[in-house]
Chains A and B, each alone.
Chain A
Amino acid sequence: MPRFRSHLFRSLLFCFATAIGLSISGCAKHESANGPQGNTLRYALLAEPTTFDPDLVQDGTTIDLLQNVYEGLVEWTPQNTLAPAIASSWTVSKDGRTYTFKIRPGVKFHSGKTVTADDVVYSFTRSLDPKLASPVGITYMGDIVGAAAFESGKIPSLPGVKAIDADTVSVTITKPKAYWINVLTYPTAYILNKDSVNKDPDGKITDQNEDGSGPFTVESYVRGQAVDLKAYPSYWAGAPKIDGIHRPIITDANTRHNLYVTGQLDMVDLSAGTVSDDEKNPALKDQIVFWPRAATYYIGLNQKMYPPFKDVRVRQAFAYATDKAKIIQLVFNGHRDVAEDILPEGIKGHDPEFKGIPYDPTKAQALLTAAGYPAGKGLPVLPIYYRESYPDLETTVDVLRQMYQQTLGVSIQPRRTEWATLLQMEDNNTLPCYHIRWAADYLDPQDYYSILLRTGSEEDHTGYSNASYDALVDAADVEQNPVKRIALYRKAAAIAAMEVPVIPLYYVKEPELVRPYVHNLDDSLMGHLPYLHVTLGP
């Protein structure tokens, strides 16, 4: 049937050509230049912003966004110290309980209103308002006198915060806590404009009624797509050097990386998988930056769920059997620092000379034998729990499994666990052994030694308890003399290092690719600081 075919083929060919034509047509410009695009910093958000309300925010991605829009009385510096922000100065009363802040003259909200002491009172009160029910208000502001009673609706106002005059405000806390002022860097303590908040019928803060006093304003937010920030020209410390920040919402790490490679982002986070590829790529290897972070990955040993851990010799044996340097080499190609102590480097109170338990397999075996488990005989199978979908954790636990099985003869079961389940199990103290990290809420040793390891602390999931350790950290928490205070924490740290409630593994560093034309990016252990000083150019 030659006629049949030729006729038919022409029609089919036509269909096909139309389809291809349709797919290829539709042309629009898209840039692939390798320089900055205008004077706007392009940096992807890893997830949808959870909120625009500083009193409700909890996740790092959204905090990184909001810290450019709002600010508090004090702020972090690139040297990891506290600096005045909306407060130009402050004094502390002799009993260490009352802080008096002077408001910096001429600080204005984006709407143009001048920031006063009343705004501070309003903002601190709002963060504890039972009607707002902030999940973190009581966590960060709970030390203020009357906070708990006000938050639970027992009293109508917050007695601990008072406006003394238009530019002076005092805050009284329940007991002296040397680290307290640090919590004022957290978004719950950002200063808000009451008039703008009340523009929302429910008193919510959204992208529509944002009115901070930070260096950038919210220009636009399209759900699922991007947030754009614009420079605030009247910022008290001078206008930002860039015109704005474009933050497209890209949840896939590879896609973010592709955008960077094709010149559509100026900075991008790196997962460990791509770090090793990029190190081999001559075009990218010089653009990799490792940012140190105030976070420590460790192994928790729960003596309530795994009885052999009740014996300190067993815990020590595990510590001596842990070759941290090898883990860092195998999992991170050497790009992490061994954690000798649970407190990360860079935080005041960290001792770079301090040495924890070293890697010593012979000693590990001897301790295990002394504890009655020669070559691991009699030790029950030990499951190690870790969070799913983090390849670094998976590899680390696998390396640990081999180490512990070889050195100690104990049988290890890696247990990849979904995050929700893991959190719930940790809360119920039902994890016998777990690989997890602790990230600082603020840069103070109290956030590590007292919160993680003190008997009865909310975050103590190991069942560890030592009376002299508790006494040392309790004394340090309230000690007003900074030198004496650090000395007390160091003594406590030495006890914890030998008693091994946890085995610190390494300190966190966050790798990123940053274009060579991005300058003056301020960074602290808490993360990037506001992009106030960033410039783009050769």
Chain B
Amino acid sequence: MVRFLLHRFLLAIVTIWAIATITFFIAFLAPGDPAILKFGEKSSPVAIAEFRRKHGLDLPPLVRYVHYVAGITHGDFGSSFQNDEPVSSFFARAFPKTMLLALLAIALALTIGVTTGTVAALKQGTLIDRSLMALVLVGVGVPNFVLAPVLVYIFVLTLPRLLPNLNVEWPPVVWSPDDPLSLLLPVVVLAARPAALIARMTRSSLLETLRQDYIRTARAKGLSPSRILFVHTFKNAFLPVLTSAGTAFGFLLSGSFVVETIFAVPGIGGASISSFTTRDYPLIQGTTFVLATIFVVVNVLVDILYAFFDPRSRMNSEGAPA
């Protein structure tokens, strides 16, 4: 197990380093000068020179690369070109918001996805199964830039107007730090696709597991149906579900540009997209680096959980069963 962990860990470090290096050098390939973009064409050469000096843009690429990597090792990603905010403090304020949305969304997605998938599996071939799977197809197919405005149109703009006397608190237009209800729509939009994917995965995985011999044996031995399902079936059927949930969570943590923009959530997603158009390299590089790291860490955690649930998966790295 130790060797397995070490192997995964080293692989993770190499991956993160490769990502940091690629995002750094890719900046040199994009057209557009960040100084000109920030200051405009009419700006003073003195200001441009000072800007380049301050951000180290006047140094040769390799020297900048060394500074950049050295900075990363003690958490310094530089300051945003656009508003001088240190990238680390941007993360400190933006990431918790994205994280909260991601946690709520993955929780909702798992609840709905596993429930739906299980019901569909148990009712396989019936009308219930087919309607649920049709709904899941919609969940997978409708992109969030469609879903978000549709939900806003229904629950924010239309229903409150049509049903003014209904004693219901309708969700507000935008996220607000002191209104928990304002999380509802962003979380639902974020959860829709992962929920659908998890439902599909749960269904197929359960069906396959329920067909296994040991389940039949368990049934023959007279175990209670809920014990069979929750103890014997779920533990084995859950592995692929875990993988897809892990991946989905990784994506959720990188923040959704669409959801954060539409609901005005000051998280990672909304800010990172504008950093591309303004060539805000410290923000682009810092965001990419941290998100890639999170992604890699989540994947490692999934691997470890996998190894925990299924000892066979450890064999690849160790050559023999643990």
Contact = CB atoms under 8 A, between A and B. Distances in A.
B112 A19 contact: yes
Given A27-B181, A418-B277, A251 B264 contact: yes
Interface in B75-120: 82-85, 93-94, 108, 111-112, 115, 118-119
Nearest to A134: B47
A223 B93 contact: yes
A12 B115 contact: yes
A420 B37 contact: yes
Interface in B277-312: 277-279
Given A50-B83, A136-B43, A424 B174 contact: no
B111 A15 contact: yes
A112 B47 CA distance: 33
A418 B261 CA distance: 20
A16 B181 contact: no
Contact of A258 (B50, B157, B226): B157
Interface residues of B, number: 66
A284 interface: no
A392 interface: no
Most B CB within 10 A of own CB, among A18, A51, A254 = A254
Contacts of B39: 58, 135-136
A280 interface: no
A94 interface: no
B152 to A, nearest CB: 6
Interface stretch (A3-11, A116-124, A310-318): A3-11
Interface stretch (A100-108, A259-267, A321-329): A259-267
A420 B46 contact: no
Nearest to B264: A250
B118 A252 contact: no
Q: Would you call the interface of chain B mostly helix, strand, loop, or mixed?
A: helix
Contacts of B84: 51
B5 interface: no
B43 A30 contact: no
B3 interface: no
B283 to A, nearest CB: 12
Interface in A128-155: 130, 133-139, 151-152
B222 interface: no
A259 B48 contact: no
B178 A135 contact: no
Nearest to B90: A223
Interface in A232-256: 248-252, 254-255
B38 interface: yes
The size bracket of the interface on A is: 35 or more
Contacts of B33: 420, 424
Nearest to A264: B173
A195 interface: no
A32 interface: yes
A132 B226 CA distance: 71
A423 interface: yes
A123 B115 CA distance: 66
Contacts of B50: 130, 133
A78 to B, nearest CB: 27
B207 to A, nearest CB: 15
A1 B40 CA distance: 73
B274 interface: yes
A427 B33 CA distance: 11
B122 A8 contact: yes
B241 to A, nearest CB: 15
A391 interface: no
Contact of A249 (B82, B152, B262, B264): B264
Contacts of B152: 258
A225 B179 contact: no
Interface string B31-66: 111001111111110111111000000000000000
A7 B229 CA distance: 11
Interface string A414-426: 0000111101101
A251 B274 contact: yes
A513 B157 CA distance: 17
Contact of B37 (A15, A423, A459): A423
Nearest to B40: A58
Contacts of A282: none
A138 B118 contact: no
B61 to A, nearest CB: 19
A426 B40 contact: no
A18 B107 CA distance: 12
A1 B225 contact: yes
A51 B83 contact: yes
Given A30-B172, A252-B261, A133 B32 contact: no
Contacts of B181: 26-28, 30
Nearest to B263: A255
A51 B92 CA distance: 20
A458 interface: yes
Contact of B270 (A51, A251, A459): A251
Contact of B179 (A8, A18, A28, A420): A28
Given A1-B225, A137-B47, A262-B157, A420 B31 contact: yes
Contacts of B213: none
Interface string A21-62: 001101110101000000000000001111100000010000
A309 to B, nearest CB: 22
Contact of A423 (B41, B47, B149, B169): B41
Contacts of B264: 248-252, 255
A273 interface: no
Nearest to A137: B44
A334 to B, nearest CB: 28
Interface in B117-138: 118-119, 122
B115 A16 contact: yes
A519 to B, nearest CB: 25
A248 B44 CA distance: 32
Contact of B279 (A3, A249, A259, A420): A420
B175 to A, nearest CB: 9
Given A3-B225, A23-B108, 15 more contacts: A11-B226, A15-B115, A26-B184, A30-B172, A130-B46, A223-B93, A223-B266, A225-B177, A251-B264, A259-B173, A262-B160, A418-B277, A420-B37, A421-B32, A458-B41
27 contacts: A8-B118, A16-B112, A16-B115, A19-B115, A23-B187, A27-B180, A28-B169, A30-B179, A30-B181, A49-B83, A51-B84, A223-B93, A224-B266, A224-B271, A251-B264, A251-B274, A254-B149, A255-B174, A258-B156, A262-B156, A419-B37, A419-B277, A420-B37, A420-B278, A421-B31, A426-B41, A458-B41
Closest 5 CB pairs of A and B: A224-B266, A420-B32, A4-B225, A133-B50, A26-B180
